[in-house]
Amino acid sequence: MRASLIQIAVDEGEPVNSRRSRVASLVREVSARDGSDLVVLPELWTTGAFAYESFAEEAEPLEGPTYEAMAKAASDAGVWLHAGSVPERAASDGALYNTSLVFSPEGELAAAYRKIHRFGFDKGEAVLMAAGSQLVTVRTPATTLGLATCYDLRFPELFRGLVDAGAEMFVVPAGWPERRREHWRLLARARAVEDQVYVLACGTGGTHAGVPQAGHSVVVDPWGEVLAEAGDGEEVLTVDLDPAKVAATREQFPALKDRLLGQAPPPRA
Ligand SMILES: NC(=O)CCC(=O)C(=O)O
């Protein structure tokens, strides 16, 4: 299985419509050039994850312009496409969500994941957006993807939930800032090692809303080895993955079997 992560540079000088068509073209070009089975884009690449004032302005219904452009790009390219996330204005409750979209090679929506942990504490995304409440996995012919977004990476219990739901590959779009780049690199490897899965973590480059982005999209294997890592500009990482390595790693080093599943945690001394 071949995966390509497209680390987009999100700079505010580029209008959202131009970036949307540019990214759709990139999905087609990269898939054709590299023979990718799965293409991954970052979090909130239309606005930038820190461009809080643009969220409401650029919000889209689920089946909005980004959905349409990405569904078409996936079917034109014939790839599974994790299209990163969009600021979604929900038809049901009018709330704003940070929603990831995954399309099948036929251009059908395979899954939508609303980010559960919103970043910003008492400002930014944490107050502007509503929280998702459901774990989402996607069964593809090659593997089962577990979905998470950016700040979610700091919450290992979410990923354990995805493992229990059958995930073998975590796909994590992000808009992580340069200032905490080492947290990003560390946490991506930690999630891979503790859950014995592949981690495909795709961030943004560039600077928006005055926040330089970390870049450093990374692919980690179930043993914690970094298979590929980007720099801080716009860049494509293409990597061959062996889904069977997940089961092999879990058999060779069966630490997941030692979890205290269904038991209360040990009492305090
Ligand atoms: N967009 C985000 O979720 C940013 C997360 C972040 O900056 C951090 O966890 O640190």
pLDDT at 261 (0 to 100): 82
Encoding tokens for residue 110? 């395979």
Q: Is the ipTM of this complex over 0.85?
A: yes
For ligand 1, atom 3, the nearest C-alpha belongs to: 151
Domain annotation for the chain: domains and CATH numbers: 2-254 (3.60.110.10)
Report which secondary-structure segment, H or E, holds 226. Answer: strand 226-229
To the query of whether residue 123 is one of the catalytic residues in this protein, the response is no
- Whether 265 has a pLDDT exceeding 90, the answer reads no
- Whether 260 has a pLDDT exceeding 90, the answer reads no
Torsion sign over Cα 13, 16, 22, 23: positive
To the query of whether residue 150 is one of the catalytic residues in this protein, the response is yes
Contacts of 207 (CB under 8 A, 6+ apart): 11, 213
Q: Model confidence over 37-61: pLDDT tens digits?
A: 999 999 999 999 999 999 999 999 9
pLDDT at 84 (0 to 100): 98
Cβ neighbour number for residue 139 with a 10 Å cutoff: 12
Q: Model confidence over 182-216: pLDDT tens digits?
A: 999 999 999 999 999 999 999 999 999 999 999 99
Distance 100 CA to ligand 1 centre (A): 16
Q: Which of 58, 88, 115, 202 is catalytic?
A: 115
Q: Model confidence over 101-135: pLDDT tens digits?
A: 999 999 999 999 999 999 999 999 999 999 999 99
